[in-house]
Structure 1
Amino acid sequence: MTHASTPPWKVFLIFLRLGLTCFGGPIAHLGYFREEFVARRRWLSERSYAELVALCQFLPGPASSQVGIALGLSRAGYGGALAAWAGFTLPSALILVLFALGIAHHGSVIPAGALHGLKVVAVAVVAQAVWGMARNLCRGVAHVMLMLIAAGVALLEPSAWAQVSVIAAAGLAGVMLFKPESSAGHDALPIPLSRRAGALWLGAFFGVLVGLPILADWLPNTTLALLDAFYRTGSLVFGGGHVVLPLLQAEVVPTHWVSNDVFLAGYGATQAVPGPLFTFAAFLGASMNQPPTGWLGGVVALLAIFAPSFLLIFGALPFWASLRRSPRTQAALVGVNAAVVGLLLAALYQPVWTSAIVTGYDLGLALLAFIALLVWKLPPWLVVAGSAALGCLLG
């Protein structure tokens, strides 16, 4: 496993390609990341990747973006974290700001058939991730049982809190069921931050979370209110992705910052672009009815909603890196890893499969994309483009 550092500009270019091709929402993004950084580039092991995903599932905010920030941090320090986020986020953010400014007035710029093809290819991407992770992390009967129980609970109770509870319960089960693994066999993710730095970043996260509402109350100002609303949303959303939508709607529609019709039009456009769903914030900031609006509003809202992710990753990783060296923690992580595969399995069915596979054509396209990824080893961006083209033809 190579742990050599990578220049931030190279990290940016790698994540820019992902930011231009990663369709399908946060679960699909984790599948793309696994293929790129575990299977192809070997930046980290399967186990380290699963542990990183588990940590980001525990933290509030967009899990896939946080995994990207952590990967950038491990390769190139703070510059790498910023480069990874910028590469993954900017393509969709720019498109959505342009959409908000009226560049695309006549419906989606992506044909409906192509959009459906992108949904279908997400099925193949997530299925490949589940297959690969299950083969590596669920090798015994107890592992498989934990995986299936986690999937069942997630399907019966599809809430963010249920997911966090499943991960916690799987950790406890891991301590009881599995023998602690030796530290020598553990592949650590290199984190160039001290625990003191981590404590300072966590202090900054809570300080801003408490301080911004007080400041916005003392100094009535739309920019401060916007910062407060979007920072708070990014700090308190567990599950990421679609979970953020009702909270954002409650922040911007009743305050008359954005009309409900514009909100829904932006949400539709967000489905048609790659990258994280949290870039919807850029659309809302650019659509504000009062200053800051346009490009400035988009930038303010985008930075505010992602700021908690940076502070939490910088704060949590130094403690996580040392904590997981403990034998009991490693035993817990064996259980957690199995549960993470189960949560991915549940997400493969709902919402990925149920929103994409409607006809026999859809199933055939999904199987073709799965074979292209798993057997023919075609690059994900090529499979994405091919699925969009076939979706157009079949649509």
Structure 2
Amino acid sequence: MTTQTEPSTVERPSGGAPLEVLQVFSRLGLTCFGGPIAHLGYFRDEFVVRRRWIDEQAYADLVGLCQFLPGPASSQVGFALGLQRAGYLGALAAWAGFTLPSAAALVLFAYGAAALDGPIGAGLLHGLKLTAVAIVAQAVWGMSRQLCPDRQRATIAVAAALVVLLSSEPMAQLGAIALGGLAGLVWCRSDALQRFGDVGARVSRPAGIAALLGFVVLLLGLPLLGSITGSSIIAAFDAFYRAGALVFGGGHVVLPLLRDGFVGPGWVSDDAFLAGYGAAQAVPGPLFSFAAYLGAIAAPASGLTGAAIGLIGIFLPGFLILLGVLPFWHGLRHYPAAQAMMRGVNAAVVGLLGAALYTPVWTSTIRETSDVAIALTGFALLAIWRAPPLLVVAFSAAAGVTGALLR
């Protein structure tokens, strides 16, 4: 039997249509379980290996950039992929397709839809978490072969993993990536210049500057506007915007920020907040979709209007700062020093994926030997048999339900 090799470089297809982007990301929005790290694995399998919209190196560079920036890293990566494929409408299509399925499910939950309960529901949720183990393991395996081909970069990856594993601070991820960049400057300068994929060509510098100004003006101006007008709706939008603008280290870090913004003023009870958080773990797509639930039940607006305020408010800052940085990052990374730094950053990203594979993915999911067997089978289906992720999701979910019924 012959095995397929994953492409290191690809010939980029010509631009696509926003409708194509919407279709692809809608399917991902319905099937991407497991949190932001798992989402990056799904994206890599879909857009690097299968569709070849972007090459391995450019994808890793994009992931590294989005890890540096505040906001939801996986959604920012998806936004940039849609932007590259079909311009600004493609970026919006990618966000809508990836986000709205989970947002709709959480709004239904806010209106009283029954949450998963009982042994079958618990088994189903556990099976979906086992899918994340297989997805993240495949991502670590594939990206490490491409991005850590020598001792220097492998060492950077291990060091980044240790920094994250030995620290409980959310900023440890950002620090590990920064240290990886500095190590790349020292250890990775001897490599030849590489040709990177064009992930920022559709954003002009004036547009980037305007996006950065918009990011800062909203961050500083919304609290002032809320205090002047006394509007609770503006205050709620500001709470969502601040959470999206100040969060580093993954989607889960946004939860304490949102709790302070909504439970503190009395807009949402602690019980309702925690119930929504539990439901957010059971749906695919980005954890930031939790904002739709909060907006739907919060006192200032509530309903569909509140859900829309929540989604726009929490995602907007991350997208503005990404648009602002992309055109300048695209030019800087063609310098030898910038390329050396990005090699170190890419290696550090592999380390972060490895650390995430252990905690929280492995430690919160693997309970017994049968869990190892299910996760290992899912990994084999993905990495060896090249099975579509949806098949692995179905297999793991069915195995989780079966295990729960047999207990």
Matches within 5 A, 1:184-199: 185-199=195-209
> Which residue of structure 1 lines up, in the alignment, with residue 144 of structure 2?
134
Say whether the 8 Å CA contact 1:180–1:327 is kept in structure 2. Answer: no
Q: Which amino acid aligns with 2:20?
A: K
Q: Which amino acid aligns with 1:170?
A: G
Q: In the comparison of the two structures, how many residue pairs are matched? A: 394
> Which residue of structure 2 lines up, in the alignment, with residue 301 of structure 1?
310
Shift of 1:106: 7.5
Shift of 1:160: 2.8
> Which residue of structure 2 lines up, in the alignment, with residue 119 of structure 1?
129
Shift of 1:179: 2.6
Shift of 1:50: 1.0
Q: Which amino acid aligns with 2:199?
A: L
CA distance in 2, matches of 1:148, 1:373: 24
1:327 aligned residue (319, 322, 336): 336
Determine whether 1:73 maps to 2:74.
Answer: no
Say whether the 8 Å CA contact 1:121–1:383 is kept in structure 2. Answer: yes
Q: TM-score, normalised by structure 2?
A: 0.94
> Which residue of structure 2 lines up, in the alignment, with residue 355 of structure 1?
364
Shift of 1:382: 1.2
Shift of 1:146: 0.9
Determine whether 1:252 maps to 2:262.
Answer: yes
RMSD, aligned CA: 1.5
Say whether the 8 Å CA contact 1:73–1:191 is kept in structure 2. Answer: no
CA distance in 2, matches of 1:38, 1:274: 21
Q: Which amino acid aligns with 1:369?
A: G
Shift of 1:250: 0.8
2:271 aligned residue (248, 257, 261): 261
Shift of 1:217: 0.4
Shift of 1:109: 11
CA distance in 2, matches of 1:142, 1:105: 48
Unaligned runs of 5+ in 1: none
Determine whether 1:310 maps to 2:319.
Answer: yes
**Deviations for 1:206-242, whole angstroms, at most 9, x for unmatched residues?**
0111110100000011110111110011000001311
Q: Structure 1 residues 362 and 224, CA, compared in 2 at 3 Å: closer, same or farther?
A: same
Matches within 5 A, 1:52-91: 52-91=62-101
Shift of 1:27: 0.5
Determine whether 1:176 maps to 2:183.
Answer: no
**SS of match in other structure, 2:364:** helix
Shift of 1:159: 2.8
Say whether the 8 Å CA contact 1:180–1:328 is kept in structure 2. Answer: no
CA distance in 2, matches of 1:313, 1:174: 23
Determine whether 1:381 maps to 2:381.
Answer: no
Q: Which amino acid aligns with 2:101?
A: P
Determine whether 1:372 maps to 2:378.
Answer: no
- The range that moved more, 322-331 or 103-112, is 103-112
CA distance in 1, matches of 2:352, 2:67: 10
**Deviations for 1:354-376, whole angstroms, at most 9, x for unmatched residues?**
11111000000000000011111
> Which residue of structure 2 lines up, in the alignment, with residue 38 of structure 1?
48
Say whether the 8 Å CA contact 1:108–1:272 is kept in structure 2. Answer: no
Determine whether 1:48 maps to 2:48.
Answer: no
Say whether the 8 Å CA contact 1:69–1:313 is kept in structure 2. Answer: no
**SS of match in other structure, 1:297:** helix
**SS of match in other structure, 1:111:** helix
CA distance in 1, matches of 2:197, 2:56: 9
Shift of 1:291: 3.8
CA distance in 2, matches of 1:127, 1:32: 11
1:166 aligned residue (176, 184, 194): 176
Determine whether 1:339 maps to 2:340.
Answer: no
Say whether the 8 Å CA contact 1:108–1:269 is kept in structure 2. Answer: no
CA distance in 2, matches of 1:219, 1:244: 27
1:234 aligned residue (244, 247, 267): 244
Moved over 2 A (4+): 103-110, 179-191
Say whether the 8 Å CA contact 2:80–2:199 is kept in structure 1. Answer: no
Say whether the 8 Å CA contact 2:200–2:326 is kept in structure 1. Answer: no
1:104 aligned residue (114, 117, 141): 114
Q: Structure 1 residues 12 and 377, CA, compared in 2 at 3 Å: closer, same or farther?
A: same
CA distance in 2, matches of 1:222, 1:301: 13
Q: Percent identity?
A: 57
**Deviations for 1:25-62, whole angstroms, at most 9, x for unmatched residues?**
00000111111111111111111111111111111011
Unaligned runs of 5+ in 2: 1-10
CA distance in 2, matches of 1:300, 1:334: 39
CA distance in 2, matches of 1:105, 1:132: 35
Shift of 1:107: 4.4
- The range that moved more, 55-64 or 2-11, is 2-11
- The range that moved more, 190-199 or 244-253, is 190-199
Q: Which amino acid aligns with 1:11?
A: V
Q: Structure 1 residues 239 and 110, CA, compared in 2 at 3 Å: closer, same or farther?
A: farther
Shift of 1:378: 0.6
**Deviations for 1:313-337, whole angstroms, at most 9, x for unmatched residues?**
1111111111111111001111111
CA distance in 1, matches of 2:198, 2:190: 16
Q: Which amino acid aligns with 2:39?
A: H
Q: Structure 1 residues 314 and 190, CA, compared in 2 at 3 Å: closer, same or farther?
A: closer
Q: Which amino acid aligns with 1:386?
A: F
Say whether the 8 Å CA contact 1:151–1:345 is kept in structure 2. Answer: yes
